[in-house]
């Protein structure tokens, strides 16, 4: 609910658990008054404490206590007194500063779409919006701040629309938000990592200075995620204040937290201003991506619950958003590039016997692609490998009783491809300079409309040619060699224009193929962000398919994304990325923490292993709704153990999973307390052959069998009796 107190020009945005308060000062500055645990009222007597501070400049000579340097500002530019990291920077004949003052506001039910960008959405019952116009007279620039409050799901979506008047400007920076907080005693949480080791949950104290996570790779990247949280250092799983910000965007971004000389802090998130600038002609506009803010005082469990349910309800779209996802078999690690139609059908047949529902044909089906050195761009079936073509193969797979899915990497081109030979200028390049390669491939220039148009048609032609119900959309390198082929002043527009081009392609394909389930991938989680989730409701979290390696990846991913979106496969041993040999049971138990799939040669497995897989598939079908739509809890964790519960809506089914990494001599008994159960109910587990009461399981816990084996795991499924 958004309340406006006209007498004091104060806006009180009341969410389920937080209040967010801003105020227009007499001078016209829009300042931040409070963000934190929900309060009922904000008294008019609650005034800002002003203080004269040396070296903090004043807009008037009459009042030395009033300085932009010390005020909590909702959207700020440098140059007129605020020395903190700016939210916006422009350049024109009048300099670089903006003096942004309140001009007007509107409050309305619902939420507008963001032009050409992914963003959260909701009905008029779910979301209410405040728009505040700020205006700088000298440059004739208007900045409209948008605050959309999702009261029930406890989120505030913020973005800014920058509009020029009579004069053109060069936009040098336009973050989606900065947020000024009254102290600096925080631990910063972010998700870092690398290829094969994505979304490592990283914690670091906010010390004097600035901490940032950012990408200039043209994608959000394996090593950084557009997410940052500031937590009270004493925060635990169940208690503690956390402020969190995410960006609904897939390109270059920055997210930072900094301290000030007077021990306040500023958090910011938006498009990375490195390699960014945007020419705005007179009477034109620039829309920033959307940032999502939330606050909880219920520790990381509260943050996780809010993040997951928001992504599931207000970011993921389309037919598949609220549907249980098919269990798939992917042939990549089973065959790599070396398959025949017969081999594929053999694999599909075994998958069907195991109860698997969808067959995904990965890389290698097109052009003359028998290795990763050629053919990207030639999206034409390889009849040598697939004599019946995609249509014939798709039909045969459908006849076996499986759906058929296909891998693409549309944004790329190989030098050795018909596409490159026909359109060498479509690859991103600097004229006069050689290419820079990565996996021997080049990136298509999606900032060009003709390239995007071609992509839409090329992908559509394939999707229309065969019974394809699923697409894995891959992207296996980052962008280099940024061209300066356009007018000189536009050179820093490239990265954002690329992402806008990509979004246009994805929007159109979503529109044309509403029944297709899209899964995004970028060599695993190289672009696993909310921007992509808007177009593709699931993502391949990592190329690392090792059960133990995936534990931390899935745990980090789970901090912001729901299990339904996390593609998670059982693969062969020794694992292809780590060489580790883990039991099939553990590989299954870990993959069942996400959206289950298989990626190994089922046909080559001994009968009993295939039976075990069939059993896993059957189990997953019985818990799929709970895992994909239920509440997720991280349980007591040590360096050597991981434990989780998933609990469905009415708490009638509870899936408990425990994994111990290494066996230890004379190890202490491990007792794990479950979470999220109905305290009064009695629960039965078939695996244990025993019943317990909810309060027993939550307060006493269960004792893990003292098994002397590495990579040991259990999965107990409890049903309310
Ligand atoms: C990327 C993906 C893999 C696989 C290969 C195919 O690495 O992450 O899952 O699809 O490409 O080349």
Question: What secondary structure does DSSP assign to 605-640, as a single string?
Answer: S-HHHHHHHHHHHHHHHHHHHHHHHSEEEE----SS
pLDDT for position 484: 63
Q: Ligand 1 centroid to 152 CA: how many Å? A: 38
Q: Answer yes or no: do 372 and 486 share one domain.
A: yes
Q: Answer yes or no: do 289 and 333 share one domain.
A: no
pLDDT for position 633: 98
Q: Answer yes or no: do 6 and 95 share one domain.
A: yes
Domain extent for 362:
315-540
Q: Answer yes or no: do 245 and 123 share one domain.
A: yes
pLDDT in tens, 138-178: 999 999 999 999 999 999 999 999 999 999 999 999 999 99
* CATH number of residue 432's parent domain: 3.20.20.70
From 370, 372, 521, mutation site for ligand 1 pocket: most ligand atoms within 8 A of C-beta: 521
Across the range 184-200, mean pLDDT stands at 98
- ∠ CA 51-176-110, nearest 5°, is 105
pLDDT of 709 above 60: yes
> Could you tell me the two tokens for 504?
């246009």
Q: Answer yes or no: do 160 and 236 share one domain.
A: yes
pLDDT in tens, 57-113: 999 999 999 999 999 999 999 999 999 999 999 998 888 899 999 999 999 999 999
The residue from 503, 520, 540 where one domain ends is 540
pLDDT for position 431: 87
* CATH number of residue 698's parent domain: 2.60.40.1180
Whether 546 is catalytic is no
pLDDT of 491 above 70: no
Least confident of 279-283, 430-434, 552-556, 572-576: 430-434
On whether residue 565 sits in a domain, the answer given is no
Q: Answer yes or no: do 321 and 267 share one domain.
A: no
On whether residue 563 sits in a domain, the answer given is no
Atom of ligand 1 nearest to the CA of 472: 10
Q: Ligand 1 centroid to 330 CA: how many Å? A: 11
Pocket of ligand 1 (CB under 6 A): 332, 362-363, 372, 407, 474, 476, 521, 523-524, 540, 543
Q: Answer yes or no: do 270 and 308 share one domain.
A: yes
The mean of the pLDDT values for the chain is 97
Q: Answer yes or no: do 303 and 329 share one domain.
A: no
Count of domains for the chain? 3
pLDDT in tens, 624-656: 999 999 999 999 888 899 999 999 999 999 999
Instruction: Taking the CA atoms of 353, 359, 363 and 366 in sequence, report the sign of the dihedral they define.
Output: positive
On whether residue 627 sits in a domain, the answer given is no
- How far is 333 from 545, CA to CA, in rounded Å? 10
Whether 474 is catalytic is yes
Name the band, by pLDDT with cuts 50, 70 and 90, for residue 183. very high
pLDDT in tens, 26-41: 999 999 999 999 999 9
- How far is 404 from 393, CA to CA, in rounded Å? 9
Q: How far is CA 313 from CA 58, 153, 359, 605, in A?
A: 45, 9, 27, 39
On whether residue 181 sits in a domain, the answer given is yes
The residue from 298, 314, 330 where one domain ends is 314
* CATH number of residue 103's parent domain: 2.70.98.60
Nearest CA to ligand 1 atom 12: 363
On whether residue 629 sits in a domain, the answer given is no
pLDDT for position 490: 52
Q: Ligand 1 centroid to 527 CA: how many Å? A: 13
The residue from 314, 336, 357 where one domain ends is 314
Q: How far is CA 292 from CA 243, 268, 546, in A?
A: 11, 11, 32
Active-site residue, from 362, 378, 416, 474: 474
On whether residue 612 sits in a domain, the answer given is no
On whether residue 551 sits in a domain, the answer given is no
pLDDT for position 487: 47
Q: Answer yes or no: do 275 and 412 share one domain.
A: no
Element (DSSP H or E) covering residue 242: strand 242-248
pLDDT in tens, 412-451: 999 999 999 999 999 999 988 999 999 999 999 999 999 9
Q: Ligand 1 centroid to 219 CA: how many Å? A: 17
Q: Answer yes or no: do 476 and 524 share one domain.
A: yes
On whether residue 310 sits in a domain, the answer given is yes
Q: Answer yes or no: do 506 and 378 share one domain.
A: yes
Across the range 459-470, mean pLDDT stands at 98
Q: Answer yes or no: do 282 and 421 share one domain.
A: no
């Amino acid at each position: 609910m958004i309340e406006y107190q006209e007498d004091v020009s104060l806006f009180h945005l009341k969410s389920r658990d937080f209040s967010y308060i801003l105020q227009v000062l007499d001078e016209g500055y829009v300042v931040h008054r409070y963000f934190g645990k929900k309060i009922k009222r904000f008294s008019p007597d609650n005034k800002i404490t002003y203080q004269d501070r040396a070296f903090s400049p004043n807009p008037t000579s009459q009042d030395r206590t009033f300085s932009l340097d010390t005020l909590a500002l909702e959207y700020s530019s440098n140059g007129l007194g605020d020395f903190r990291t700016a939210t916006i920077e422009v350049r024109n004949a009048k300099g670089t500063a903006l003096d942004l003052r309140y001009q007007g506001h509107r409050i309305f039910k619902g939420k507008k779409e963001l032009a050409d960008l992914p963003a959260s959405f909701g009905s008029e019952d779910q979301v209410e919006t405040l728009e505040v116009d700020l205006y700088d007279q000298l440059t004739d620039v208007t900045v409209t701040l948008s605050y959309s409050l999702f009261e029930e799901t406890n989120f505030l979506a913020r973005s800014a629309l920058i509009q020029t008047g009579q004069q053109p400007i060069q936009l040098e920076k336009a973050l989606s938000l900065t947020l000024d907080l009254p102290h600096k005693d925080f631990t910063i949480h972010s998700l870092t990592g690398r290829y094969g080791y994505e979304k490592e949950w990283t914690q670091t104290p906010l010390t004097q200075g600035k901490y940032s996570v950012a990408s200039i790779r043209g994608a959000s990247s394996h090593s950084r995620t557009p997410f940052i949280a500031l937590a009270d250092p004493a925060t635990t799983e169940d208690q503690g204040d956390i402020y969190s910000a995410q960006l609904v965007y897939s390109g270059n971004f920055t997210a930072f937290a900094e301290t000030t000389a007077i021990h306040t802090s500023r958090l910011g998130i938006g498009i990375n201003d490195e390699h960014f600038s945007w020419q705005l002609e007179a009477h034109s506009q620039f829309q920033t991506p959307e940032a999502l803010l939330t606050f909880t005082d219920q520790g990381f469990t509260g943050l996780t619950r809010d993040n997951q349910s928001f992504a599931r309800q207000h970011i993921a779209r389309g037919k598949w958003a609220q549907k249980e996802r098919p269990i798939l078999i992917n042939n990549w690690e089973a065959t790599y590039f070396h398959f025949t139609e017969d081999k594929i059908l053999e694999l599909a047949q075994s998958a069907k016997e195991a109860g698997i529902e969808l067959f995904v044909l990965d890389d290698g089906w097109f052009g003359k692609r028998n290795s990763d050195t050629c053919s990207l761009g030639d999206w034409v079936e390889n009849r040598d490998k697939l004599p019946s073509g995609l249509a014939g193969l798709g039909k045969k797979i459908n006849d076996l009783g499986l759906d058929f899915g296909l891998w693409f990497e549309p944004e790329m081109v190989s030098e050795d491809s018909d596409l490159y030979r026909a359109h060498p200028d479509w690859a991103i390049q600097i004229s006069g300079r050689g290419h820079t390669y990565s996996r021997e491939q080049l990136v298509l220039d999606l900032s060009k409309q003709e390239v995007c148009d071609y992509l839409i048609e090329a992908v559509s032609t394939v999707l229309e040619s065969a019974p394809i119900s699923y697409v894995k959309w891959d992207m296996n390198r980052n962008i280099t060699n940024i061209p300066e082929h356009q007018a000189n002043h536009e050179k820093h527009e490239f990265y954002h224009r690329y992402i806008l081009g990509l979004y246009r392609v994805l929007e159109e394909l979503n529109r044309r193929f509403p029944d297709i389930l899209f899964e995004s991938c970028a060599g695993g989680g190289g672009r696993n962000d909310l921007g992509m989730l808007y177009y593709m409701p699931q993502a391949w979290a990592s190329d690392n398919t090792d059960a133990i390696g995936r534990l931390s990846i899935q745990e980090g991913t789970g901090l912001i994304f729901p299990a339904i979106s996390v593609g998670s496969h059982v693969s062969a041993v020794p694992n292809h990325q780590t060489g580790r040999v883990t039991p099939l049971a553990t590989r299954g138990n870990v993959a069942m923490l996400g959206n289950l799939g298989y990626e190994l040669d089922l046909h080559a497995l001994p009968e009993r292993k295939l039976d075990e897989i069939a059993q896993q598939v059957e189990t997953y079908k019985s818990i799929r709704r709970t895992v994909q739509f239920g509440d997720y809890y991280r349980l007591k964790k040590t360096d050597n153990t991981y434990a989780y519960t998933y609990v469905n809506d009415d708490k009638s089914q509870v899936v408990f999973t425990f994994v111990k990494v290494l066996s230890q001599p004379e190890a202490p008994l491990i007792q794990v307390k479950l979470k999220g159960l109905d305290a009064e109910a009695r629960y039965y587990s078939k695996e244990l052959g025993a019943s317990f009461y909810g309060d027993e399981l939550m307060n006493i816990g269960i004792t893990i069998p003292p098994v002397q084996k590495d990579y040991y795991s259990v999965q107990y499924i409890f049903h309310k009796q």
